[in-house]
Amino acid sequence: MDLRLERVENPKKRPDDSKLGFGQVFTDHMFNMDYAPESGWHNARIEPYGPIVMDPATMVLHYGQAIFEGLKAYRTSDGKIQLFRPERNVARFNRSAQIMCIPEVDEAFALSAIKRLVAIEKDWVPRAPETSLYIRPTIVAMDPYLGVRPSHTYRFFVILSPVGAYYPEGFNPLKIWVTDKYVRAVRGGVGEAKTPANYAASLFGAEVAKEAGYTQVLWLDAVERRYIEEVGTMNIFFVLNGELATPPLGGSILPGITRDSVLALARRWNVPVAERPVTIDEIMDAHKNGSLQEIFGSGTAAVISPVNHLAWRDEELTIGDGGVGPMAQKFYAAITDIQYGRAEDPSGWIVPVE
């Protein structure tokens, strides 16, 4: 498929690397492509970044039929720009598309469009340590129609945002609130899709947690409200008596690419690994008997987020010595070293942009 390019006339001024936050600044260009039943995906183009004009009846605004992805481009010390396992993001995008009744995209074409866009915007990939260019592919339902059904037309777009270091002054461990009152997703629902509904469903519980002084919510399963699923918008890991345990992907958990990378590294390092159900009661007991060593979250934004404090009912736990555990530290270093080209990439996770 052709990919048309229209360059911006007046490029924006790029922000200073030291002033970057997350998702506030966007680059000069974006990728766009349209879908119609008679022509399939068509009209692929890279053009100046700008608004998408929508009829107020556009279906995505009413019924939330949309999917998205999140990945990053990294600059190595010798100036190369590279992606980390991007084919996994594109595959997950199509899995989310199936769940949300959205027509799938050609994965090779989508990946080549992302690479082309990043290559055009390569000067926007920041240089300061642990900064990156966040990539947000999205598809939204475009029919102007107020009945509930899958849309017939769609827009696929990709935007880019330079982002700062997540931990500019070292890890900032999370204080988490476990709730059995609010749930994020239910098995048989859309929890394993990267779709806005899951994030909308998490807002209220997350606000309650923040008001009570916690950073994020630890989500339990929606049926029995015992099985641990995710933490905030991350997958979750426990180190219990030397074993690395994480909940299995049962339909209500997002299959994280960082999660998969942690599991792969642990297996390579011969760390005992279990993808198995973990209940909140098991964690409380393990804390009491001294076998709970670490808890951490995994995700593209922060890579690894250590948890040092957990509140459940009327109990407040400090995990380990309240600092950053050795496993969290080791996974963070290993993954970021590969992403920034500081270490070998024996599994072929790195995809160069040019």
Ligand X SMILES: Cc1ncc(COP(=O)(O)O)c(C=O)c1O
- Residue ranges in contact with ligand X by CB under 6 A: 70, 230, 233-235, 254, 256-259, 298-300
- Closest CB to ligand X among 27 and 198? 198
162 in Cβ contact with 15 (< 8 Å): yes
- Closest CB to ligand X among 35 and 227? 227
- Closest CB to ligand X among 32 and 132? 132
In angstroms, rounded to a whole number, what is the distance separating the alpha carbons of residues 350 and 354? 12
In angstroms, rounded to a whole number, what is the distance separating the alpha carbons of residues 296 and 230? 10
Shortest distance, position 224 Cβ to ligand X, whole Å = 20
Shortest distance, position 298 Cβ to ligand X, whole Å = 6
- Closest CB to ligand X among 221 and 230? 230
- Closest CB to ligand X among 8 and 333? 333
Shortest distance, position 231 Cβ to ligand X, whole Å = 9
Q: Degrees (nearest 5) of the Cα angle 217, 220, 226? A: 135
Shortest distance, position 88 Cβ to ligand X, whole Å = 7
In angstroms, rounded to a whole number, what is the distance separating the alpha carbons of residues 1 and 316? 56
Shortest distance, position 198 Cβ to ligand X, whole Å = 6
Backbone phi, psi, residue 155, to 5°: -120, 130
Shortest distance, position 222 Cβ to ligand X, whole Å = 14
Backbone angle region of 139, left / alpha / beta, with phi > 0 → left and psi within -120 to 50 → alpha: beta
Shortest distance, position 232 Cβ to ligand X, whole Å = 8
Alpha helices (runs of H) in 218-324, residue ranges in sequence order: 257-268, 280-289
| CA-CA-CA-CA torsion sign (259, 260, 262, 267) | positive
247 in Cβ contact with 277 (< 8 Å): yes
- Closest CB to ligand X among 20 and 254? 254
Q: What are 232's strand-pairing partners?
A: none
In angstroms, rounded to a whole number, what is the distance separating the alpha carbons of residues 310 and 104? 40
- Closest CB to ligand X among 27 and 235? 235
* Amino acid (1-letter code) at residue 316: E
Backbone phi, psi, residue 273, to 5°: -125, 140
